Amino acid sequence: MSKIALISLALVAAFAPVSLATDDILGIGSPAPTLSDVTWLKGEAVSQWEEGHVYILDFWATWCGPCKASIPHINEFQEKMRKDVTVIGVAIWPNDRMVPTADFVDEKGDAMNYTICEDNDTFAADAFMAAANRRGIPTCMVVGKTGQIEWIGHPMSGMDEAVEQIVADTFDQEAYKKEMEKKAEAEAAADAARNAARPELNALGAGLRSEDWASVLDASDALIDKHPLYATTGSQYKYHALVRLDRKADAARHGRDILNGDFAKEANLLNGLSWFIVDPEGDLNDEQRDLELALFAANKANTLTEASEPNILDTLARVEFRLGNLASAIRAQQAAIENAPDGEQKEALQVSLDEYIEAAENL
């Protein structure tokens, strides 16, 4: 599988439309609404927030992959904190294609050993998620000892520490509120930048899908010139386009410019550029492969990661192999395997090592 994604649109959460627009923002320090319009599927109904007790509301759905991935962690945390904390899984945003929530919960059994309820229509989603201007799940909201919202975020991103501090009365709500406000401002700025660049990003995506490299080049140049946040994206795909348009001198010049500029301290970008050049499953011919550039980029990425990242070592090995430096390729691939966790990645790396060893033995 190629290490290069055409355009990275990876999401850490699943999204659904929010049906309620409101000026009454539910935020840190706000009184938490009650769960009055839900169907309780597991555990005792919670009609009010008990003073002195802490609650985690996990907003999720059976159709949401990231939600299901976080369930083991939430279940483990509930077992650990059961004396002081009640976890409530609040299923929202249903659709016709999903596994029914009740069936999913029954099948999970003790692997989902906490209280579960399901939204009636969109009452809970509106009262909590829309009111807090949250559009992605999983989202957890922590209701503290005084019935206020103390923390909002992804269950795998700092929730445990925050809840433990809330239980111990050491949580700094005001500092966290300021942190959230700062993060919201940054997200709003990023959204604005993304919306401004949407025509160019759409044009880039269309060009990549149709392999219209002249269009890719135009869209890349527009991103570089007009949208600083997406300049590295533009630079990356400008190189791809120049190579595939057989503009060898321009590609070489642009490649060296970005290696000493935008990509200089970005190991993943350096690695991606190098792998694009040497990818055995790619469609470049030997004339289009700038192996000198690929070696420079791979070595720089390897230095930045202190020769400890398996994917980067794998790329470096592939570059050395294409250059005919078999001993160097074997050493780099062995290092990649040593640094890789057991499993599929290590097995795939071993396949490449066997290829290099066989080539060396056949000299």
Please report how the helices 198-210 and 231-244 are oriented relative to each other, as an axis angle in degrees rounded to 10: 30
Mean per-residue pLDDT of the chain: 91
Q: What is the CATH number of the domain that holds 121?
A: 3.40.30.10
> Residue 309: what pLDDT?
96
Domain stop point among 139, 156, 183: 183
Average pLDDT over residues 202-228: 96
The mean pLDDT of 8-28, rounded to a whole number, is 48
274 and 229, same domain (yes or no): yes
Which of 145, 162, 183 is the endpoint of a domain?
A: 183
- For 186-253, the DSSP string reads HHHHHHHHHHHTHHHHHHHHHHHHHT-HHHHHHHHHHHHHH-GGGHHHHHHHHHHHHHHTT-HHHHHH
- The answer on 83 and 28 residing in a single domain is yes
Tokens of 347: 């097995």
Give the integer Cα–Cα distance in Å for 211 and 193. Answer: 26
Asked if pLDDT for residue 3 goes beyond 50, the answer is: no
Q: Which domain holds residue 59?
A: 14-183
Contacts of 278 (CB under 8 A, 6+ apart): 289, 291, 294, 315, 318, 319, 322
Q: What is the pLDDT of residue 24?
A: 57
Report the SS3 class of residue 25. coil
Task: Give yes or no: residues 178 and 215 share one domain.
Answer: no
What is the mean pLDDT of the segment spanning 49-68?
96
Cis peptide before 280 (omega within 30 of 0): no
Identity of the residue numbered 68: K
Domain boundary among 136, 162, 183: 183
Q: What share of the chain has pLDDT > 90, as a percent?
A: 84
Give the CA diameter of the chain: 77
- What span, in angstroms and rounded, lies between the C-alpha atoms of 20 and 361? 68
Tell whether 155 and 132 lie within a shared domain: yes
What confidence score (pLDDT) does residue 186 get?
86
Q: What is the pLDDT of residue 139?
A: 96
Mean pLDDT of 153-175: 95
Residues 223, 338, single domain; the answer is: yes
Label residue 143 by pLDDT band (50, 70, 90). Answer: very high
pLDDT digits (tens, 9 = 90+) for 242-279: 999 999 999 999 999 999 998 999 999 999 999 999 99
Please report which confidence band the pLDDT of residue 32 belongs to, taking 50, 70 and 90 as the band edges. Answer: very high
Residue 343 lies in a domain: yes
Residue 20 is predicted with a pLDDT of 34
Reply yes or no on whether the pLDDT at 285 is more than 90.
yes
DSSP state of 129: I
Three-state DSSP at 161 gives: helix
Residue 133 has pLDDT above 80, yes or no: yes
Q: Sorting pLDDT into bands at 50, 70 and 90, what band is 363?
A: confident
Query: Is the predicted pLDDT of residue 239 greater than 60, yes or no?
Result: yes
Residue range 301-311, pLDDT digits in tens = 999 999 999 99
Residues 17-46: what's their mean pLDDT?
Answer: 79
| Unique residue bearing structure tokens 């309820």 | 117
Quick: pLDDT tens for 171-203: 999 999 998 888 888 888 888 988 999 999 999
Please tell me whether residues 241 and 169 are part of one structural domain.
no
pLDDT of residue 25: 81
Q: Residue 16: helix, strand or coil by DSSP? A: coil
Q: pLDDT, tens digit, for every residue of 320-351?
A: 999 999 999 999 999 999 999 988 999 999 99
Length of the chain: 363
Provide the CA 246 distance to its chain's centre, in angstroms. Answer: 34
Statement: residue 12 has pLDDT above 90 = no
Quick check: 70 pLDDT over 70? yes
Residue 183 makes CB contacts below 8 A (sequence gap 6+) with: none
Instruction: Show Cβ contacts of residue 200 under 8 Å, excluding neighbours closer than 6 positions.
Output: 219, 222, 223, 226, 227, 230, 234
Domain total in the chain: 2
The verdict on residue 190 lying in a domain is no
206 vs 6: CA distance, rounded Å: 11
Residue 314 lies in a domain: yes
- Percentage of the chain lying above the pLDDT 70 cut: 93
Claim to verify: residue 102 and residue 228 sit in the same structural domain? no
* pLDDT-derived band at 144, boundaries 50, 70, 90: very high
Residues 195-207 as b/e (b if ≥16 CB within 10 A, e otherwise) read eebeebbebbeeb
- Alpha-carbon Rg for the chain in angstroms: 25
Question: Does the reported pTM lie above 0.95?
Answer: no
Residue 4 forms part of a structural domain:
no
Q: How confident is the model at residue 11 (pLDDT cuts 50, 70, 90)?
A: very low
